[in-house]
Amino acid sequence: MTAAGGRAVVLDGKAAAAAVKADLAVRVAALRERGVVPGLGTVLVGDDPGSAAYVRGKHRDCAEVGIASIRVELPADATQAQVEEKVAELNADPACTGFIVQLPLPAGTDTNRVLELVDPDKDADGLHPTNLGRLVLRVREEVTSPLPCTPRGVIDLLQRYEVPLDGAEVVVVGRGTTVGRSIGLLLTRRDVNATVTLCHTGTRDLAAHLRRADVVVAAAGVPGIVRAEDVRPGAAVLDVGVSRVVGADGKAVLTGDVAPGVEDVAGWLSPNPGGVGPMTRALLLANVVEAAERAAG
């Protein structure tokens, strides 16, 4: 599928996430037949309204596909030891087949120490050092460990819309933990076979890289960093960045990394919101279901 009339095909993350969830619902039903109920745990520390809303959304997603949810909450002044104890409890809880520690943790918490305590086999985010290491080590084999949700969502979306990836030049903008630093590990697997360039604040000529790209993954968190004049006509552009900016009316609005006008040049474009965000949420559920499938044998 390519764009008609110079406007990009919309990579509809909401529709794709619904399809992912429909598939998971079938697999959850099959597990339940065998007496296995997948369960997602969430650890929420503090009372940030944004984080609380995200966590509520994850529990709603779980209910949609038949996954049980286990909600753990701690006050903002919880100690490092209390947070670590909750992680240990979920590691030991057989009803929990996967869990996340909602980020960011309150200032003063050693986030990396907490995340490293998560049982890698229950790592629903797919960002545990052991799982990132497993990805590095398995270029050929099917990877059977949890995968990072947002990179997986990006690739799933591209494949669903049949955007060619074999041999494609993919330019990733941003070297953050959740996307930039890990997505290349998935894109360069032999079954995907893309060539990946990772651009960041030290990149000398970002525009020159973007102009050569067949696929742009914009994950810098810099509003408008990908401009229409830098996108090769027909390229696929995925807008992964999320920034809070003050709109014309003085209210905070969420905005992506892709500038207006890219939709007239690109062949495919993921909107933001409604693109990669819903896929991240759906693939979190996939990690939980797959962990339950592996545990059930």
Ligand X SMILES: Nc1nc(=O)c2c([nH]1)NC[C@@H]1CN(c3ccc(C(=O)N[C@@H](CCC(=O)O)C(=O)O)cc3)C=[N+]21
Closest CA to 119 of 136, 96, 138, 142: 96
What is the nearest approach in angstroms of ligand X to the Cβ of residue 115? 8
Measuring CA to CA, how many Å separate 51 from each of 43, 55, 114, 118?
11, 6, 17, 20
**Residue type at position 135:** L
| Least distance from ligand X to the Cβ atom of residue 34, Å | 29
Binding-site size for ligand X (CB under 6 A) equals 15
Which one, 57 or 75, has the nearer CB to ligand X?
Answer: 57
What is the C-alpha separation between 183 and 152, in angstroms, rounded?
8
- Is 65 labelled a binding residue? no
Residues of this chain, 214-273, that bind ligand X according to CB under 6 A: 272-273
Phi, psi of 254, rounded to the nearest 5 degrees: -85, 135
Check if the beta carbon of residue 28 is closer than 8 Å to that of residue 277.
no
| DSSP letter assigned to residue 226 | B
**12 near ligand X (CB under 6 A):** no
Task: Tell me the residue number closest to ligand X, measured at CB.
Answer: 277
The one catalytic residue in 12, 102, 156, 257 is: 102
Specify whether 125 is catalytic.
yes
Q: Confirm whether 110 is a catalytic residue.
A: no
Determine if 37 is a binding residue for ligand X (CB under 6 A): no
By CB under 6 A, tell whether 151 contacts ligand X: no
Helices (H) and strands (E) in the chain, counts: 9, 11
Question: Would the annotation count 247 as a binding residue?
Answer: no
Q: What is the set of active-site residues? A: 58, 102, 125
Contact set with ligand X (CB under 6 A): 54, 57, 100-103, 125, 149, 272-274, 277-278, 280-281
